[in-house]
Amino acid sequence: MALAVTTDAAGRLDALTSWHSDWTGLRVGVLGLGATGFAVADTLAELGSDVLVVAASADEQRAGLIDVIGARLVVADLSTPPSELVEHAPDVIIASPGFHPDHAVLLWASEQAIPVWGDIELAWRLRDKVGEPAEWILVTGTNGKTTTVQLTATMIHAAGKRVAPCGNIGIPVLDAIRDPQGWDVLVVELSSYQLHHLRRSGPGALVPHSAVCLNIADDHIDWHGSFDAYRDAKSTVYANTKVACVYNKADETTQRMVEDAEVSDGARAIGFDLGIPGPSDFGVVEGILCDRAFLEDRRNSAIELTTVPELVAAGLDAPHVVANILAASALARAYGVPADVIHDALADFRLDAHRIATVAVADGIRWVDDSKATNPHAAAASLTAYPSVVWIAGGLLKGVDIDDLVRSHVSRLRGAVVIGVDRSELVAAFARHAPALPVVEVVVDDTGEVMPRAVRLAAEVAGAGDTVLLAPAAASMDQFADYAERGHLFAQAVREFLGGEADDQSASDRPEA
């Protein structure tokens, strides 16, 4: 028998906009038991809701805690809705980010008119648990999200504010809003998966202080079904913004997103790119990073934030990193952080592990780990930073066309080493656009042998002045646990091959976004 959400049930959900609302007895179905799913279950159980978690698999430690927190768990084949979920008759389903929109359980929920939330909407509704709710600053984009979140949080922290980077960066927002110390600001990294489930209006709609979409390129097409759907999900980041909609002047799509967004009265559009900034923009003038947005006489002057030589000294001078710094500075300045505080914060900032990290330099060859370049757009930014490259690439392409990336960068390639299950598409692209380029494939069954073999093959091609660059342009889960393991094994293989100590900066275990 088909279920239907009654008017009373829908009205109750609309009224749940505070930690102090009455959540008791609310029947909730939680999909997935990763970090997000567990945080959802733990939060709602604390509020007295009737929580049923359904998952295709479950970490033993988290599964063992479900009874302790007062929820229930069903581990089952989710190709159809489990009978336990149907009998639970949930008032709302909260989906973890990994569940595709066409997942069987979500299609069933749609047929039964059961509302589906993400953890971000739930966290927004509950944001007032600890005193005055924090302001939310939202960051999305195909690439550069984590770096920009970390930069923004670092700048705001340097101004003496209590700030938490959270969301897709690895810390569930629900954990942040429940922290007993409370926060002034949450800098929230949002993946397209999380944005897909966000509403733009009505109860539960976010009202961020400021927001940025850093860039848009083909990615996660297999999840969203089309580029248009992916772009539309990303554009949700600007909805209802109060102060600043920061966009990339070098990416027209992000500008159109801002132009089309329904924002709060008084919100400003703030552009950034590597060129000379106009009024209300951030940019670069003769090696000086400038703010021409947050000053009174912005039509005739600018505020210096830092200089390119200073960024070189800090290892932050790659063009895409400079763009991230400008975006983060715009968000921080929108919140009121002084320019001199931003300058000093940048002096001590270091990039995350597996993001254009130099592992070693030996015999004139630089070995660079950019395992976090999990799509073509990120790989293109990394390739552009080096004049002569032996490129280690490949993995799970996620339905993205690799042809343009290869065609655009063959002039800087000395050779290519292709790894991963989707090798044939890369090899074919090299054959079309660089038939004379040395291209070799790594064909091994043992994950532990992938990087040692790739490193040896790259060394056979590389010479003094070259960079051996791991920038896969693909996800890692075909052969590795995540991009962090892929980068760690690359650094380890380089160290063993060179017979010395490589600078292995692999202290990251965050999932790909």
CATH for 124-348 (3.90.1010.10, 3.30.930.10, 3.40.1190.10, 3.40.50.300) = 3.40.1190.10
**pLDDT values of the chain reduced to their tens digit, one per residue, 513 residues:** 344 445 567 788 999 999 999 999 999 999 999 889 999 999 999 999 999 999 999 888 899 999 999 999 999 999 999 999 999 999 999 999 888 888 999 999 999 999 999 999 999 999 999 889 999 999 999 888 989 999 999 999 999 999 999 998 878 899 999 988 899 999 999 988 899 889 999 989 999 999 999 999 765 556 556 788 888 989 999 999 999 999 999 999 999 999 999 999 999 999 999 999 999 999 999 999 999 999 989 889 999 999 999 999 888 888 999 999 999 999 999 999 999 999 999 998 887 667 777 888 889 898 999 998 888 878 888 898 888 999 999 998 877 788 889 998 999 999 999 999 889 999 999 999 999 999 999 998 788 899 999 999 999 999 998 999 999 999 898 889 888 899 999 999 999 999 853 333 333 323 333
Q: Which CATH architecture has domain 7-117?
A: 3-Layer(aba) Sandwich (3.40)
Domain ranges within the chain, ordered by starting residue? 7-117, 124-348, 357-498
Is 17 known to sit in a ligand binding site? no
Question: How many residues belong to the chain?
Answer: 513
Is there a binding annotation on residue 144? Answer: yes
In this structure, what is the dihedral angle of CA atoms 284, 285, 290, 293, given to the nearest 10 degrees? Answer: -90
307 assigned binding-site residue: no
Given this model, what pLDDT does residue 380 score? Answer: 86
Instruction: Report the pLDDT value the prediction gives residue 222, as an integer from 0 to 100.
Output: 60
Instruction: Return d(Cα 248, Cα 229) in angstroms, integer.
Output: 20
* Alpha-carbon distance values, 428 to 390, 408, 419, 423 (Å): 17, 15, 14, 9
SS3 94: strand
Cβ proximity of 299 and 122 under 8 Å = no
Which of 202, 224, 229 is closest to 115 using CA atoms? 202
Same fold, 7-117 and 357-498: no
Q: What is the pLDDT of residue 268?
A: 97
- State pTM to two decimals: 0.74
Annotated binding-site residue? 161: no
pLDDT at 429: 94
**Cα dihedral 380, 386, 389, 391 sign:** negative
Provide φ and ψ at 280, rounded to 5°: 80, 20
- Per-residue pLDDT at 3: 45
CATH number given to 357-498: 3.90.190.20
- The response to whether 143 counts as a known ligand-binding position is yes
